[in-house]
Amino acid sequence: MEHNSFVGLFQNISLLLAVALLFEVAVVRFKKSNTLLTQVFTGVALGGLGVVVMLTPWTLIPGVVFDTRSVLVGIAGLFFGPLSTVIAVLMTSAFRLNQGGQGAWTGVSVIIASGIIGLVWRYFKGRQLHQMTWRELYLFGFVVHIAMLVLMLTLPWHIAMRVLSNIALPVILIYPVGTALLGSLLVNYLGRERTGKQLSESMERYRLLVDTANEGIWAMDREHVTTYVNAAMANMLGYRQVEMIGSKVENYLYPEDVELHRKSMAQRHKGKDEVYERRFRRKDGKELWTMVSAKALKNESNVFQGSFAMFTDITLRKVAENALAKSELMLRMIMNTIPDLVWLKDVDGVYLHCNKKFERFFGADEATIVGKDDYAFLNKELADFFRDNDRKAINSEGPRINEEWLTFASDGYHGLFETIKAPMHDDHGKLIGVLGIARDITARKTTEEALRESETRFKALHNASFGGIAIHDKGVILECNLGLSEMFGYSREELIGMDGLLLVANGSRDVVMSRILSGYEKPYEEYGLRKNGEEFPMRLEARNLPYKGKMVRAVEFRDITDSVNAAKALLAAKEAAESATQAKSEFLANMSHEVRTPLNGVLGMLQLLQTTEQSDEQKEYILGAIKSTRRLTRLLADILDISKIESGKLQIIEAEFSTVCLQESIIEIFHPTAREKSLNFNFHVDTQVPPRLIGDETRVRQILFNLVGNAIKFTESGSVLVEATLLPAKDNENFRVLFAVSDTGIGISDEQLKDIFEPFVQGEQSYTRCYQGAGLGLAIVRKLVKILGGEMAIDNAAGNGTTIYVSLPFKLPVSHQKQAEMQPYQTDEPVGAPWRILLVEDEELSLFSGKRMLHKMGYSVTTAPDGMEALGILHEQDFDLVLMDIQMPVMDGVEATKAIRGSSDLGAKSQIPIIAMTAYAMTGDKERFLAAGMDDYISKPVDRDELKTVIERVMGKGSPACQGV
């Protein structure tokens, strides 16, 4: 054996181990799976490694070379499986055949044998390769290389002998060791890989356990800042995990629970673990109750590093506990409220629970009673009686009822009680005790005795009833009272067994029969038939009731002849009253016209007198007379309105109107009066109130006129404020506006408040009263508010002013666009010239005063005594405006207006502005005149300033938006 054989084989082993280390780094460590592609790649890598070690063989003789491919291929078969081994065997075998020489096929057989031995060893070792010891690896290498030496015999005999004599000992000494070293590298890798895989699987299982746990997991650092929450914890609070990282627990607590949390965290800092309940506020604001198991986290130096807690959602349990507590409280309240004695005993007769009423019976509280039996409170005889009844209730397996006379220990009350005792079982059917309820029936027993005594009295009363009573079965009378006999003229004996329909007039029998068949039980009226053939009105009412074991009908008959006659008389009176009311309305309307006409002459002349030179004394007289005239005019208007309202003939006319114009009209009318009394007067309309509304503008204005007039009249100093505010609406079309009229006046006393809305009632009734008026204003307001579907309220303090609130319904116009207005009549008169007015008036004094008043205003005036003459004048002359009286001879103002509007001969003059100036001031008059074609309206007596305002408005100098105000 040559020395250099040891050296050559050792060098080959060293090279193999070095290349194997590179192989582990380059291939094995990056092997992530055992797919087919991976096995092929591994086999190629192993074959390449074999080729590398075969490039530097130790040559014994030419053609016979030695390297470490046997070690490599054997290890491949052992650790890398069949596919990788076959590829490695094929590659190394091909390379050996390519090297050639007389030992080529022997070398191939060694390669194949090494691979097979590795695979066989792998097969028997199974999945325990990572547990192979050094000794086992050495044995494996020894077997592989014994086989290699045996295969050397396939060489020619003399070469085989020489080979074996030179390499047998070095191979046996070196190659098994090399195999064991290379195998150890792989065993170590497999161990590490298995350990890593186990660790990874363990961590994955832990992660899945944490992420899929029903319990919430929350970790935080020493500053209580969140470092981790699992999905369950985040879901409990309604957040995403990423939202909670970096936040503090306090952010999720209710303010009142923060101090409790801080105390708990103080325990964590001390290293103490705790289990407690904690309430949180979810992201959606709802309450979350949890059971917390908290642990402190410390480092190796036992220094607090943070805390870790598991949270179990117990909200449902809390809700159930609260519900149970409420239920128990409710049950206890019910038990303590009911007038019965209630108690519960166990099977041995020991009390488990009782109510307040039962405490009175024993004269002790529940805490004293519970845990004791009857013998602790009662004499033995009574206790034995109760205990015996308990046993009977248990044995009967159902409730037992008996009556017992009991005496209360608390106050000595003695009464008869109806006692019900029933066995109590748990959910599994096990007997747990006896439930007892005792009701005081002393009064009921007394009532029953009284009832029996009253039956005799009832029978007497039955016969003495003011009406007739009959009990019938399918129409046949079974029983009746004396009243029925007296009503129909039959004896009781004749009525019993009679067909009840014989008591009904022929014309009513079909109706009565249908009511019997349908079981009708409401009162109704038909006609009865007496024995003597007389028909009379009667009221019937029937009920089904049991009678001697079967259902029959009991019928009450009432003779309503007197009430029918009274109703007829009442109807006649009503018709007479309505006729009188109509006559009154017509009288008032005519009287209003007849009074207003002379008043117009009086007021006109007084206003004309104002335009002349007067002394101060004369001015005072004229002003007083004018005020009295206006007051009389207002009184007339109020009387007419209250009459119209009370007769039910007031018409509500809804139309679109302007809130701005309503505001301006109130200010225009009352601002001068308020200024005279040095009062601050304002009318504020909230910006939310729509600028145009649909409602009865006339009635709204009338309500505000009365309220504001009263407020100014009864306020000597301070202010009067009117406010209009939009109330919340149910929809976009219907809504309410709240009007509030406030003053700082004398207020209304509580005694006056109950009557102040009645007609002709005033706040001051004495002969020395300071304020004038008929007392109709508030009565009209209240009635108008009711008719309009509104509501009214007063905030009042006598001596400190009054605020009256009126809420009225309105609608929103479909479109806010203004309708195309009719082009006004235009004349050729230059702007600034005096207007030419045609005054049509039949009453001589009104004509005179009106003409003079218009002249003094600067107008050119032509007069006509009736509508017919006015038409003729209008055909001949040009005018800017017509002032038209209504009631005139020959042709009245309405007919004249229609004739003007319908005249084609007048051309453009048919559209001349026409203002009604009339003594007709009843409700609806203005609307009727405007509908006839007139442009505006002013009632008599005519106020000069108002007349000028209306003329300027109609002629276009006033505010067009407020036309008709």
Does residue 823 surpass a pLDDT of 50? no
> What per-residue confidence (pLDDT) applies to 30?
46
Distance CA 498, CA 872 (A): 88
Distance CA 958, CA 349 (A): 99
Q: Name the helix (H) or strand (E) containing 785.
A: helix 777-787
> What per-residue confidence (pLDDT) applies to 760?
46
Q: At 342, is the secondary structure helix, strand, or coil?
A: strand
Cβ contact 959:664 at 8 Å: yes
Q: Does 500 or 34 have the greater pLDDT score? A: 500
229-285 pLDDT, tens per residue?
998 899 999 999 999 999 999 999 999 999 988 888 888 888 888 898 999 999 999
> Which residues pair with residue 683 across a beta bridge?
722
933 class by beta-carbon count within 10 Å (0-12 exposed, 13-18 middle, 19+ buried): middle
pTM greater than 0.85: no
Tokens linked to 657 = 């109107």
Does residue 396 surpass a pLDDT of 80? no
> What per-residue confidence (pLDDT) applies to 111?
87
Cis peptide before 941 (omega within 30 of 0): yes
Q: Name the helix (H) or strand (E) containing 539.
A: strand 535-547
Tokens linked to 154 = 């396939």
Indicate the pLDDT class of residue 18, thresholds 50, 70 and 90.
very low
Cβ contact 810:652 at 8 Å: no
Q: At 356, is the secondary structure helix, strand, or coil?
A: helix
Indicate the pLDDT class of residue 195, thresholds 50, 70 and 90.
low
> What per-residue confidence (pLDDT) applies to 914?
95
> What per-residue confidence (pLDDT) applies to 771?
45
- List, edge to edge, every strand of the sheet that includes 431-440: 351-354, 341-345, 431-440, 414-425, 400-407
Distance CA 301, CA 295 (A): 17
Q: Does 949 or 762 have the greater pLDDT score? A: 949
150-187 pLDDT, tens per residue?
888 888 888 888 888 888 887 888 788 878 887 777 77
Residue 227 CA to chain centroid, in angstroms? 40
In this structure, of 232-241, 756-765, 880-889, the range with the lowest mean pLDDT score is: 756-765
Does residue 303 surpass a pLDDT of 80? yes
- List, edge to edge, every strand of the sheet that includes 881-884: 860-864, 836-840, 881-884, 914-918, 936-939
Cβ contact 258:267 at 8 Å: no
Q: Does 12 or 701 have the greater pLDDT score? A: 701
577-633 pLDDT, tens per residue?
667 666 666 666 666 666 667 766 677 677 777 778 888 777 776 776 776 676 666
Q: Does 683 or 67 have the greater pLDDT score? A: 683
> What per-residue confidence (pLDDT) applies to 179?
81
> What per-residue confidence (pLDDT) applies to 739?
95
> What per-residue confidence (pLDDT) applies to 826?
47
> What per-residue confidence (pLDDT) applies to 593?
65
> What per-residue confidence (pLDDT) applies to 633?
67
Widest distance between CA atoms in the chain: 175
Q: Please tell me which of 54-68, 460-474, 522-536 the model is most confident about, judged by mean pLDDT.
A: 522-536
User: Do the strands 414-425 and 535-547 form a parallel or antiparallel pair, or are they unpaired?
Assistant: unpaired
Cis peptide before 759 (omega within 30 of 0): no
Does residue 418 surpass a pLDDT of 70? yes
Q: At 789, is the secondary structure helix, strand, or coil?
A: coil
Indicate the pLDDT class of residue 836, thresholds 50, 70 and 90.
very high
Provide DSSP, 795-846: EE-TTS-EEEEEEEEEE--S--SPPPPPPPP--SPPTTSPPEEEEE--SHHH
629-677 pLDDT, tens per residue?
766 666 666 666 666 666 666 678 888 889 998 898 889 888 888 898 8
> What per-residue confidence (pLDDT) applies to 592?
62
Distance CA 304, CA 301 (A): 9
> What per-residue confidence (pLDDT) applies to 17?
52
Does residue 380 surpass a pLDDT of 90? no
Summary count for the chain: helices (H), strands (E):
29, 29
> What per-residue confidence (pLDDT) applies to 212?
61
Indicate the pLDDT class of residue 868, thresholds 50, 70 and 90.
very high
- Give 829's contacts (C-beta < 8 A, 6+ positions apart): 835, 836, 878, 880
Does residue 871 surpass a pLDDT of 70? yes
> Which residues pair with residue 742 across a beta bridge?
721, 803
Cβ contact 138:180 at 8 Å: yes
Q: Does 31 or 419 have the greater pLDDT score? A: 419
Q: Name the helix (H) or strand (E) containing 741.
A: strand 734-743
Report in angstroms the alpha-carbon separations of 732 from 659, 694, 728, 863: 18, 13, 10, 52
Q: What are the structural domains of the chain?
A: 3-198 (1.10.1760.20), 213-319 (3.30.450.20), 340-441 (3.30.450.20), 464-559 (3.30.450.20), 651-811 (3.30.565.10), 836-962 (3.40.50.2300)
Distance CA 45, CA 20 (A): 11
Does residue 913 surpass a pLDDT of 60? yes
Distance CA 162, CA 607 (A): 164
Tokens linked to 439 = 């009701």
443-452 pLDDT, tens per residue?
877 777 766 6
In this structure, of 57-71, 713-727, 793-807, 827-841, the range with the lowest mean pLDDT score is: 827-841
**Any idea which residue has 């390449």 for tokens?**
48
B/e letters for 379-411, b = 16+ CB within 10 Å, e = fewer, are eeeebeebbebbeebbeeeeebeeeeebebeee
474 class by beta-carbon count within 10 Å (0-12 exposed, 13-18 middle, 19+ buried): exposed
Q: Name the helix (H) or strand (E) containing 737.
A: strand 734-743
Residue 113 CA to chain centroid, in angstroms? 87
Does residue 776 surpass a pLDDT of 80? no
Backbone φ and ψ of 810, nearest 5°: -140, 170
Cβ contact 838:817 at 8 Å: no
Q: Report the mean per-residue pLDDT for the chain.
A: 80
Tokens linked to 249 = 């627990």
Indicate the pLDDT class of residue 775, thresholds 50, 70 and 90.
very low
**Any idea which residue has 């004791």 for tokens?**
372
540-576 pLDDT, tens per residue?
998 888 887 788 888 989 988 888 888 888 888 877 7
Tokens linked to 893 = 């103002």
pLDDT over 90, % of the chain: 20
108-154 pLDDT, tens per residue?
898 898 889 888 898 888 777 777 888 888 898 899 888 888 888 88
